[in-house]
Amino acid sequence: MTIRDRIRELRRVRAGDLRPNPHNWRTHPAPQRDALRGLLEEVGYAGALVARELPDGRLQLIDGHLRAETTPEMEVPVLVVDLDDEETAKVLALFDPLGAMAGSDRNVLCGLRERVETRSEALRAVLDRIGGPLEAAPEKPESPSAEVTVPELFQVIVECPTESEQKTLFERLKQEGYDCRLLNL
């Protein structure tokens, strides 16, 4: 397999000068906006936005629309890639869904979550939502009569009219940090 490096350069650009991509299909609900603002305030930028250079020299976003929108006056790190229209569409359509396909190791996530301290209520809400309750796994009962505690789970079942809409909702909820499963009845 031959894999090309499509990154031309890392450039610092005023976020408000980046052109949003008209084909960006991601939406950003208020809880996500608040959580991103909290993370940027507490940590700052720890990853680059991705953009391509248009024929007129302007940069068009491929990834990082919410970060650019949140900090329009700030100079931000941008990976400039050399993608054409077709390749850009492919990345826009597949980048987030591929990330949403990743599984999770609940034990590692809970251990990581226990190390995170935040002043942001929005970030605390995200931490509370991911991975379920922060409880240690119950110890093995010493005898058959020992009591075992089963943590509460709160679930929602949503009926979708089509498989495509089910997948779209699933991907959105995974991106928002929910532990999701697909179910067909």
Put the strands of the sheet holding 75-81 in their side by side order.
Answer: 7-14, 75-81, 49-53, 59-63
Is residue 51's pLDDT more than 70? yes
Domains, the chain, with CATH or none: 7-100 (3.90.1530.10), 106-175 (no CATH)
What is the pLDDT at residue 135? Answer: 41
Tens-place pLDDT, residues 64-73? 999 999 999 9
- Residue-wise burial string across 155-176, b where 16 or more C-beta atoms lie within 10 A, e elsewhere: eeeeeeeeeeebeeebbbebeb
Query: Inter-axis angle of helices 85-100 and 163-175, to 10 degrees?
Result: 70
- The CA radius of gyration of the chain, in Å to the nearest whole number, is 20
Output the pLDDT for position 132: 56
State the pTM of this model.
0.70
Amino acid 138: pLDDT: 43
In the prediction, which pLDDT does 144 show?
53
pLDDT at 27 exceeding the cut of 90: yes
Nearest partner of 49 among 27, 71, 22, judged by Cα: 71
pLDDT higher than 60, residue 114? yes
Contact 42/118 with Cβ under 8 angstroms? yes
pLDDT at position 140 over 60: no
Is residue 11's pLDDT more than 80?
Answer: yes
User: Please, which pLDDT band fits residue 137 given cuts at 50, 70 and 90?
Assistant: very low
* pLDDT given for residue 40 in this prediction: 97
Read off the tokens for 36: 């991103």
